[in-house]
């Protein structure tokens, strides 16, 4: 057997903002795919089923739990978007300096929260 170093694992790595953003990127992508697809198919099914089913959909999606789901999907979208933009900048070769990478790793979820609050402020005031 070759005398090679072992791969680091979660007990060795020191947690940092870049790791959190990476995990959030994956979780929000999966969440949007699963929950967003479910809500969209439910909406389309309610449209196709007739007015009474659509009324049931509207009453449930505008309930407090429905708004939690919609706000969560919005937060997931903006978090995934900001993380994707961060990765795009890294892919072009910029932002690899430790301090800049740390700052953008912290700013990505913060900006996503600000965008989510702003989006729902606009939606609720119209």
Task: Give the pLDDT band (50/70/90) at residue 6.
Answer: low
Determine, yes or no, domain membership for 1.
Answer: no
- Comparing CA positions, the residue from 19, 123, 125, 15 lying closest to residue 71 is 123
The mean pLDDT of 52-75, rounded to a whole number, is 97
Cβ burial of 20 (10 Å; 0-12, 13-18, 19+) is middle
Binding-site residue set: 80
Which secondary structure element, helix H or strand E, spans residue 31, and what is its range?
A: helix 17-31
Residue 101: give the domain boundaries: 17-125
Determine, yes or no, domain membership for 12.
Answer: no
| pTM for this prediction | 0.85
pLDDT digits (tens, 9 = 90+) for 21-45: 999 999 999 999 999 999 999 999 9
Q: Would you say 90 and 120 are in contact if contact means Cβ atoms under 8 Å apart?
A: no
Determine, yes or no, domain membership for 100.
Answer: yes
Does the pLDDT of residue 14 top 80, yes or no? no
Determine, yes or no, domain membership for 74.
Answer: yes
The pLDDT, as a whole number, for residue 54 is: 97
pLDDT digits (tens, 9 = 90+) for 81-122: 999 999 999 999 888 898 999 999 999 999 999 999 999 999
The pLDDT, as a whole number, for residue 10 is: 62
Determine, yes or no, domain membership for 80.
Answer: yes
The pLDDT, as a whole number, for residue 16 is: 85
Determine, yes or no, domain membership for 64.
Answer: yes
Binding-site residue set for heme: 80
- Please report, for the domain that includes residue 102, its CATH number: 1.20.1300.10
Q: Which residue has tokens 């407090």?
A: 64
Task: Give the pLDDT band (50/70/90) at residue 9.
Answer: low
The mean pLDDT of 53-57, rounded to a whole number, is 97
């Amino acid at each position: 057997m070759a005398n090679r170093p072992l791969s680091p694992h979660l007990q060795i790595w020191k947690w940092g903002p870049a790791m959190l953003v990476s995990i959030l990127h994956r979780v929000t992508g999966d969440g949007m795919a699963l929950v967003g697809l479910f809500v969209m198919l439910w909406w389309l099914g309610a449209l196709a089923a007739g007015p009474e089913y659509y009324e049931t959909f509207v009453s449930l999606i505008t309930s407090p739990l429905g708004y939690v789901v919609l706000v969560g999907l919005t937060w997931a979208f903006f978090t995934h978007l900001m993380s994707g933009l961060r990765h795009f900048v890294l892919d072009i070769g910029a932002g690899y300096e430790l301090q800049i990478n740390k700052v953008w790793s912290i700013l990505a979820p913060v900006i996503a929260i600000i965008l989510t609050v702003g989006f729902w402020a606009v939606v609720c005031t119209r």
